[in-house]
């Protein structure tokens, strides 16, 4: 396996775009409003996806907040899941660097949500959320949207909410119905 530094920047940029697109698609699925995502200059081998902030905080005594916390962990898990779609594909497979180090920031951002949920085993919670993210990304329309968003992001270095909506619609992606109250 090549070291990460031995992988050409264009390949690493594409993997990063798939990582960020994973967050975008799973966030979109869960009705999180994206503001934008971008690949950091100069080569775009790291990036960031930004969602609109919540209007209120999370509270332990609200069942809906506990569900929101798990959704946030799922969205944060979707980056690595989305990146693995790239590494397992034809272009990425020969360059796969082995253990991914791109997930550290996402793991750090999960910690407040894990602390709120207080699961008996945080590893099992993270694994369940990663499986949920992967299941979303492998739905045919979501997979098409994921690739289209990643390609746009890799080419332009940035993508906004309006472009995401267009690409999701073009792929035929649909959100699940809102739960009844």
Residue 181 lies in a domain: no
Q: What are the angstrom distances between the C-alpha of 154 and each of 62, 99, 103, 112, 138?
A: 39, 22, 19, 30, 20
Residue 122 lies in a domain: yes
Specify the number of domains making up the chain: 1
What per-residue confidence (pLDDT) applies to 100? 67
Residue 48 lies in a domain: yes
Q: Is the peptide bond before 42 cis (omega within 30 degrees of 0)?
A: yes
Residue 179 lies in a domain: no
Which of the 8 DSSP states describes residue 36? E
CATH at 58: 1.20.58
What per-residue confidence (pLDDT) applies to 1? 66
Tell me the average confidence (pLDDT) per consecutive run of 10 residues in the chain, 181 residues long: 81 95 98 96 94 89 92 97 92 77 87 96 97 97 98 98 98 88 61
**Residue 20's domain spans which residues?**
4-170
């Amino acid at each position: 396996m090549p070291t990460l530094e031995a992988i050409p920047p264009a390949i690493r940029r594409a993997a990063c775009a798939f990582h960020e697109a994973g967050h975008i698609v799973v966030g979109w699925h869960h009705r999180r409003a994206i503001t934008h995502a971008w690949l950091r200059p100069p080569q775009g081998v790291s990036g960031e996806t930004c969602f609109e902030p919540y209007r209120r905080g999370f509270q332990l005594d609200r069942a809906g907040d506990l569900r929101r916390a798990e959704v946030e962990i799922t969205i944060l898990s979707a980056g690595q899941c989305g990146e693995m779609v790239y590494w397992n594909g034809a272009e990425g497979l020969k360059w796969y660097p082995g253990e991914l180090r791109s997930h550290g920031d996402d793991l750090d951002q999960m910690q407040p949500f894990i602390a709120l949920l207080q699961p008996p085993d945080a590893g099992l919670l993270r694994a369940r959320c990663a499986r949920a993210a992967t299941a979303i990304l492998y739905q045919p329309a979501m997979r098409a949207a994921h690739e289209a968003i990643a390609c746009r992001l890799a080419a332009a270095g940035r993508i906004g909410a309006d472009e995401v909506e267009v690409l999701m619609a073009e792929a035929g992606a649909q959100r699940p119905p809102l739960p009844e109250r």
